Amino acid sequence: MRLPPLFPRTIFWRLTWLTALALIASLAFVVALSGYNRQQMVARQTSEQIGEMLADLEDQLDGMSASEQAEWIALTHRPYAPHLVALNSTDAPPAKAPRSPQTRAIAAALQQQLAGVGEVRETRQPKKQLWVRVNMLGQPYWLVIPLGRFQSDPTWTLAAAAAVFALLALSVAGLFAWRLNRPLRELGVAAARLGRGERPEPLPETGPREVAQLSASFNRMLADLDATERERAVMLAGISHDLRTPLARLKLGVEMMQDMSLQDGMREDVEDIERILGQFIDFARGLGEEALQTVDPAELARSVLARFARTGVEIELHLDDELPLASLRPLALTRALVNLLDNACRYGAAPLSLSVQQHAQQLVFQVCDSGSGIPPAQLGDALKPFHRLDSARRADGGSGLGLAIVERIARLHGGMLQLSNRREGGLCAALRLPLARG
């Protein structure tokens, strides 16, 4: 199911968001229940007071004549105190006047608890009053009661307390979510470093049981990878030692051959075997052991081109006026540039060029040639290990690992390798490496 766009993506914010929703709903229910209970309590208190008031008024009016009752009612008429009013008084509110929830609760309590109580009405101006129709000694009257005398304090204190409690609970929930999310975040960072070929430190096996078990599983995987890496290093050392000795004997035997027509071809075959063996070992060994160093990219590029200049290969160098120092792995990066330039010399055509530029927060090493390039449909396949682009290249002594090694070195630096064909003909390989901010 696709989540709404505003739904948080991280575990921390999801836990905080869901906890806040549950807490707000719970507090809203508590406040609403408290308001309802207060409303019912005020209604019961008011109905009890009105019952006592009616009994007291009935005792005072008992034994009086109709004229004496009318005179007594007129004498005790005080606008903002409980008093009786004749049923036909013009001051009575209309029958369909709106009533507040508190008034409806009082009316329900009166009609439930007291006999002889009829319609209940309410006025709000100039003062909030309750008009209750009652029968007093067989005569109908309006009993007018100021509601202000019976209302309790508002619930702002409860709402303020609930808000403070909500803030405290959300703070605790946020701290809990952060503590729960921290091991997962560390696991994600460690997995990303492992994917780039680096060796992360073992994770602390703390937190909830499930998270601790996940960290322990990751640590066991690291230990297994280390054991496999050690076994592979021993095996590669043995392969390198066992194969280079007979290759050296082959070289010596080729140099001592008397048939000069076969000597050049066999020498090239031995060199191809050595180059393929070196690429196999480089690809299988991994590249994460070299530490980062502060390097001048311009000097590194000049040192790489100096190697090719000694063999008679001319390569143009283009440098930005000001290149920053960068944290790089110089041996790995040198290997990557040598592989790219070897491919340009082997499969491209002169003129060849190497440029080093800074674009925003990226350091870009770009190797270009003037050959026929690569068909656009095969640009993605060129980075696959052991993949040869066409049959003409399968007998040239290559192994199909050169670009795969360069792409691995780019990922080791947190960057990427991009291949593109030039409009004027030829191929450009751009090694894009991020620069550390600051």
* pLDDT of res. 394: 41
Domain with CATH 1.10.287.130 in the chain: 196-286
In the 3-class helix/strand/coil scheme, how is the chain assigned residue by residue?
CCCCCCCCCCHHHHHHHHHHHHHHHHHHHHHHHHHHHHHHHHHHHHHHHHHHHHHHHHHHHCCCCHHHHHHHHHHCCCCCCCEEEECCCCCCCCCCCCCCHHHHHHHHHHHHHCCCEEEEEEECCCCCEEEEEEEECCEEEEEEEEHHHCCCCCCHHHHHHHHHHHHHHHHHHHHHHHHHHHHHHHHHHHHHHHHCCCCCCCCCCCCCHHHHHHHHHHHHHHHHHHHHHHHHHHHHHHHHHHHHHHHHHHHHHHHCCCCHHHHHHHHHHHHHHHHHHHHHHHHHHCCCCCCCEEECHHHHHHHHHHHHHHCCCCEEEEECCCCCCEEECHHHHHHHHHHHHHHHHHHCCCCEEEEEEEECCEEEEEEECCCCCCCHHHCCHHHCCCCCCCHHHCCCCCCCCHHHHHHHHHHHCCCEEEEEECCCCCEEEEEEEECCCC
* pLDDT of res. 8: 65
* pLDDT of res. 1: 47
| CATH architecture of the domain formed by 196-286 | Orthogonal Bundle (1.10)
- Judge: domain 290-434, CATH 3.30.565.10: yes
Domain with CATH 3.30.565.10 in the chain: 290-434
Q: pTM for the whole thing?
A: 0.48
Per-residue pLDDT of the chain (438 residues; tens, 9 = 90+): 455 555 666 666 777 777 778 877 887 787 778 778 877 887 787 777 777 777 777 777 777 777 777 777 777 777 666 777 777 776 777 766 556 777 777 777 777 777 667 777 777 777 777 777 777 777 787 777 777 654 445 556 666 777 787 788 777 777 777 777 788 888 888 888 787 767 788 888 887 788 888 888 989 998 888 887 777 666 666 666 667 777 777 777 777 777 666 777 777 777 767 766 766 666 555 555 678 899 999 999 999 999 899 888 999 999 998 899 999 988 889 989 988 998 899 888 889 999 999 988 899 999 999 988 888 878 777 776 555 555 444 444 445 567 878 888 888 888 999 999 988 889 999 999 998 754
